[in-house]
Chains A and B, each alone.
Chain A
């Protein structure tokens, strides 16, 4: 069966510090991968998506970057965090050959920038 992991679960970082959040998927190959941010108040904002190793598309200009060094690994990074980067970060995947394109979400990482 397929599972998706995110690490760490919670993180408190000072302004100006670097960031690295990791997402890994098990039990599938060649998935589409997505990073979302959910700010307080609910809405989900799509940050990045990837259709393959080394292929990253950015949805909004921001202080963050993403990388996909392996087929089932997706990393969200920042060189210098801002207060506005605080939020709940969710990783999601869909199987490349899925017929209904539903996205499956990880448990999320709660980031607080102080």
Chain B
């Protein structure tokens, strides 16, 4: 079945760039997503990318997609302490019409002041 993997933890200094990586298995996925979860809260959609794109930029966020390697990354420029959270990568399941998402286990981003 489909699987999405992420590293568990990333620590950066305030002002540096953060790069969170994700690999997925379903080569037919049409959409891939990044979500942010702050402590005790629901998931907040940050951005998504369509599979025919290589890159998408949205303010401080840059998403890179390498379809050949099934690798997705999220770069956060000028990381702030408010960016500390868990970041989830997700892919849309390509089979069926139920629009299910397959989530990774999340990467905890710790921003040091």
Seen from chain A, the residues whose Cβ lies within 8 Å of a Cβ on chain B are 32, 34, 41-44, 46, 49, 51, 57, 90, 92, 94, 100-108, 110
Contact = CB atoms under 8 A, between A and B. Distances in A.
B45 A102 contact: yes
Given A32-B98, A43-B106, A108 B92 contact: no
B98 A100 contact: no
B26 to A, nearest CB: 14
Interface of B: 30-31, 33, 35, 40-45, 48, 50, 86, 88, 92, 97-101, 103, 105-106
Chain A CB within 10 Å, residue with most, of B48, B50, B99: B99
Q: Is the interface of B mostly helix, strand, loop or mixed?
A: strand
A105 B88 contact: no
Given A101-B30, A105-B42, A108-B40, 16 more contacts: A42-B86, A43-B105, A43-B106, A44-B103, A46-B101, A49-B98, A51-B97, A51-B98, A90-B43, A100-B31, A100-B48, A101-B92, A101-B99, A104-B45, A107-B42, A108-B41
Given A42-B86, A43-B105, A44-B88, A102 B100 contact: no
Given A42-B106, A100-B31, A106 B42 contact: yes
11 contacts: A43-B103, A43-B105, A44-B43, A44-B88, A51-B97, A94-B99, A101-B92, A102-B31, A102-B45, A103-B45, A104-B45
Given A43-B106, A44-B103, A90-B43, A57 B98 contact: yes
A90 B92 CA distance: 18
A41 B103 CA distance: 14
Given A42-B86, A100-B48, A101-B92, A108 B42 contact: yes
Contacts of A106: 42
A104 B99 CA distance: 12
A62 to B, nearest CB: 17
Contact of A107 (B31, B33, B41, B103): B41
Contacts of B45: 102-105
Contacts of A92: 43
